[in-house]
């Protein structure tokens, strides 16, 4: 199956972001992609996420459905703010959920994953302090979903730093892990490739990191370098620090071969279950 990662620099203008994404999606489809993945905050970077979740989100979700249906692809909207939980309960204001939505080729929603781990950190860049937990409520469930002949494990950005999540997704059948992201320029340069390759080697999965790029504001920049890593930890394709479309193929025989030669999933001795507040989908 051919994958595509869409990399660009989103800002606060939703319509402009969707125009950019639509152009890149068409390019990916022309290149043969069956699964196209957009980055974290693909429709809006910065601004009032609660306001977007309350008044403009139907436009964005409708756009995802239309793009997937008209192009005949699987389309993963990296993340967008939603003011309701998967069970329909409202998220208490002023926070929202950072939700990743997978839409099938028929335009129907196939899966929703809400970001589990929130980026509260001190980074040596112009912004310095990040506190996603002020704006976002963490998710509470793992999500795996069949996509053609593969099983996709869903995650978002900061989730990449938690090997226990990747392992849990692989234990539930995932052989393709996808991380739509907005890794900062500083943390990305230090850790992005290292983390993507580590998650691939640990799980025997293909790992696709789909990042924002460029200068979003005076104080905030993203690293870019979207990347596909195979189960052996080899970088199969990567972009630079500017906008673009990454194309790469995932192969079942590669997954099977690596897992046969290095069956680490059968050798684990330190096993832990899910915490009480995290559920399977």
Q: Classify 257 as helix, strand or coil.
A: helix
Q: Which two tokens stand for residue 72?
A: 């005949």
How much is the CA Rg of the chain, to the nearest whole Å?
A: 17
Contact of 39 with 182, CB cutoff 8 Å: yes
Q: Which two tokens stand for residue 122?
A: 């001190």
For residues 199 and 146, give the distance between their C-alpha atoms in angstroms, rounded to a whole number.
Answer: 20
The residue annotated as part of the active site, out of 9, 20, 44, 157, is 157
Contact of 51 with 59, CB cutoff 8 Å: no
For residues 245 and 248, give the distance between their C-alpha atoms in angstroms, rounded to a whole number.
Answer: 10
Catalytic status, residue 157: yes
Catalytic status, residue 115: yes
The residue annotated as part of the active site, out of 115, 137, 205, 254, is 115
For residues 225 and 126, give the distance between their C-alpha atoms in angstroms, rounded to a whole number.
Answer: 20
Beta strands at 144-147 and 141-142: parallel, antiparallel or unpaired? unpaired
Interacting residues of 102 by C-beta distance below 8 A, sequence separation 6+: 74, 75, 76, 77, 109, 110, 111, 112, 113, 145, 147, 152, 154
For residues 148 and 134, give the distance between their C-alpha atoms in angstroms, rounded to a whole number.
Answer: 37
The residue annotated as part of the active site, out of 9, 20, 40, 44, is 40
Q: Which two tokens stand for residue 37?
A: 């993945």
For residues 74 and 80, give the distance between their C-alpha atoms in angstroms, rounded to a whole number.
Answer: 17
Catalytically active residues, by annotation: 40, 115, 157
């Amino acid at each position: 199956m051919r994958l595509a990662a869409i990399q660009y620099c989103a800002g606060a203008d939703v319509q402009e972001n969707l125009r950019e994404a639509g152009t890149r999606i068409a390019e990916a489809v022309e290149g043969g992609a069956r699964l196209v993945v957009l980055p974290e905050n693909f429709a809006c970077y910065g601004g009032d996420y609660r306001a977007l979740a309350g008044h403009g989100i139907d436009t964005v979700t409708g756009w995802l459905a239309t793009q997937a249906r008209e192009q005949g692809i699987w389309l993963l909207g990296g993340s967008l703010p939603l003011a309701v939980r998967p069970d329909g309960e409202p998220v208490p204001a002023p926070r929202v959920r950072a939700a990743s939505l997978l839409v099938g080729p028929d335009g129907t929603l196939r899966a929703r994953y809400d970001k589990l781990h929130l980026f509260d950190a001190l980074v040596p860049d112009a912004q310095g302090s990040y506190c996603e937990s002020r704006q976002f409520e963490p998710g509470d469930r793992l999500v795996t979903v069949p996509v053609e002949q593969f099983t996709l494990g869903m995650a978002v950005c900061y989730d990449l730093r938690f090997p226990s999540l990747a392992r849990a997704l692989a234990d539930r059948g995932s052989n393709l892990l996808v991380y739509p992201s907005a890794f900062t320029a500083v943390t990305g340069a230090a850790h992005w490739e290292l983390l993507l390759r580590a998650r691939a080697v640990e799980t025997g999965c293909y790992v696709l990191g789909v990042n924002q790029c460029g200068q979003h504001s005076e104080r905030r920049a993203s690293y870019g370098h979207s990347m596909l890593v195979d189960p052996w930890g080899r970088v199969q394709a990567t972009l630079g620090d500017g906008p673009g479309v990454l194309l790469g193929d995932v192969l079942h025989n590669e997954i099977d071969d690596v897992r046969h030669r290095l069956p680490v999933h059968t050798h684990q001795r330190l096993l832990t279950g899910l915490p009480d507040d995290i559920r399977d989908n």
